[in-house]
Structure 1
Amino acid sequence: MSVIYVLIPIAILFVIIGLGVFFWAVRARQFDDLDKEGFSILFDENNADSSKQPHAPQDKPPQ
């Protein structure tokens, strides 16, 4: 029964830490744009840069 007196303050401490991290994330605007990262894999932002890169050497020369 005396273990309860130790576990309850530890549980309360974990809840306070969790709420602190959640409110920090909200204040740091971590949840503002949830779709941006999902769409970023669909579009290639380096279209202009890809034409400037040299092509990989081929195994056989063109005939």
Structure 2
Amino acid sequence: MESLYLLIPLSVLIAFAGGALFWWSTRSGQFDDLEGPAHRILQDDDSVAGE
């Protein structure tokens, strides 16, 4: 029973930290373009870097 006094506040803090990280990532634009990188891999680019 005494371990619940530690585990419940700790789980609440972890949940708030996860929510804060998700809020930060959506505000900074991490989820704006989900399909762009996948399409860039498929584009054929034969140019050599540096030329």
**2:5 matched residue in structure 1:** 5
CA RMSD, Structure 1 to Structure 2 (Å): 1.8
> 1:44 offset after TM fit, Å?
3.3
**1:16 matched residue in structure 2:** 16
**Larger helix proportion, structure 1 or 2?**
2
- Give the structure-1-normalised TM-score: 0.70
Q: Quick one: distance in 1 between partners of 2:44 and 2:2?
A: 60
* Percent identity over paired residues: 36
Q: Structure 1 residue runs of 4+, over 3 Å off?
A: none
Aligned residues: 50
Structure 1: 5+ residue stretches without partners? 54-63
Matched to 1:37, the amino acid is P
| Max Rg structure | 1
Greater relative contact order, per chain length (Cα 8 Å cut-off, separation 6+): 2
- Give the structure-2-normalised TM-score: 0.85
